[in-house]
Amino acid sequence: MITNKKDYKFYRERDRIALEISNNTITSRLKNFFFPSPCWKFQKLMRKLEYYTNCRNKGLYKIYIMYLKYRYRKLSIKLGFSIPINIFGPGLSIVHYGTIIINFTSKIGANCRLHACVNIGASGGERQGPILGDNVYIAPGAKIFGNIKIPNNTAIGANAVVNKSFEKENTIIAGIPAKVLGSIDIKKLIRHE
């Protein structure tokens, strides 16, 4: 969670690297200006809202936070996202816009790569959503729900329905209901630095 300006800059930089957004040449800067990535725009706004909500929530900043919340909600609706703030660790990569729904009690670690049509939420009257570790790859259409835990270095397959906890790291989880299909080197799917 972002607790100071240094964290804010760190999270933004890690997100930029995860999304492979280049800003080191004039050509790439012009491309980013004229053809910005909607997901990168969303993630920058999300991190800014997290920073001001967590660190600057006093006085006139409250008015600015209301403005940021308005922009965040408007962009969320446009892109099909229902993502609360303070859920993701640094290095988030939302690859495509499209329906993504995440419960406000869920927690997701660093270096998460997330595709469209993903649903992460609570289940059957429970309040607590899933807790996912670091370096988790979530393929399109995955449904992860319940008071469960997913370990670090896990890949969740397309259209998987994950409704129970797993303990072993470096695995591929897929199927309906999900089960471990094999092992994987997650560093090939997620860009860390």
Give the pLDDT confidence of 147-176 residue by residue, as tens digits.
Answer: 999 999 999 999 999 999 999 999 999 999
C-alpha–C-alpha distance, residues 160 and 74, integer Å? 29
Closest CA to 144 of 123, 167, 120, 127: 120
Domain end call among 80, 115, 146: 80
What is the pLDDT at residue 41? 94
Give the pLDDT band of residue 29 (cuts 50, 70, 90): confident
**Residues 141 and 60 grouped into a single domain:** no
- Ranking 24-33, 70-79, 81-90 by mean pLDDT, the lowest is 24-33
Residue 182 domain flag: yes
Domain end call among 80, 109, 142: 80
Determine how many CB atoms are found less than 10 A away from the CB of residue 64. 14
Residue 90 domain flag: no
C-alpha–C-alpha distance, residues 162 and 182, integer Å? 16
CA separation (Å) from 1 to 50, 60, 85, 90, 167? 8, 23, 9, 9, 24
**Residues 68 and 105 grouped into a single domain:** no
**Residues 65 and 108 grouped into a single domain:** no
CATH number, domain containing residue 119? 2.160.10.10
In this structure, what are the phi and psi dihedrals at residue 168, rounded to the nearest 5 degrees? -80, 130
Give the pLDDT confidence of 91-108 residue by residue, as tens digits.
Answer: 999 999 999 999 999 999
**Residues 103 and 174 grouped into a single domain:** yes
**Residues 104 and 173 grouped into a single domain:** yes
pTM > 0.85: yes or no: yes
Residue 94 domain flag: no
Give the pairing type, strands 100-102 and 118-121: parallel
What is the pLDDT at residue 193? 47
Determine how many CB atoms are found less than 10 A away from the CB of residue 138. 26
**Residues 105 and 190 grouped into a single domain:** yes
* Mean model confidence pLDDT for the chain: 92
Give Dmax over CA atoms of the chain in angstroms: 53
**Residues 20 and 71 grouped into a single domain:** yes
Which string of DSSP letters, residue by residue, matches 145-190? Answer: ESS-EE-SSEEE-TT-EE-S----SSEEEETTTTEEEEE--GGGTS
Instruction: Judge whether 100 and 121 are in contact, CB under 8 Å.
Output: no
**Residues 167 and 106 grouped into a single domain:** yes
Residue 39 domain flag: yes
Domain end call among 80, 109, 134: 80
**Residues 51 and 130 grouped into a single domain:** no
Closest CA to 173 of 64, 163, 124, 191: 163
**Residues 118 and 178 grouped into a single domain:** yes
User: What residue numbers bound the domain in which 66 lies?
Assistant: 1-80
| Interval 72-76 mean pLDDT | 97
Residue 118 domain flag: yes
Residue 12 domain flag: yes
Residue 92 domain flag: no
Residue 89 domain flag: no
Q: Map tokens 């329906």 to a residue.
A: 99
| Amino acid sitting at position 91 | G
Overall domain count for the chain: 2
**Residues 56 and 126 grouped into a single domain:** no
**Residues 61 and 103 grouped into a single domain:** no
What is the pLDDT at residue 190? 62
Q: Helices 38-55 and 5-18: crossing angle, nearest 10°?
A: 160
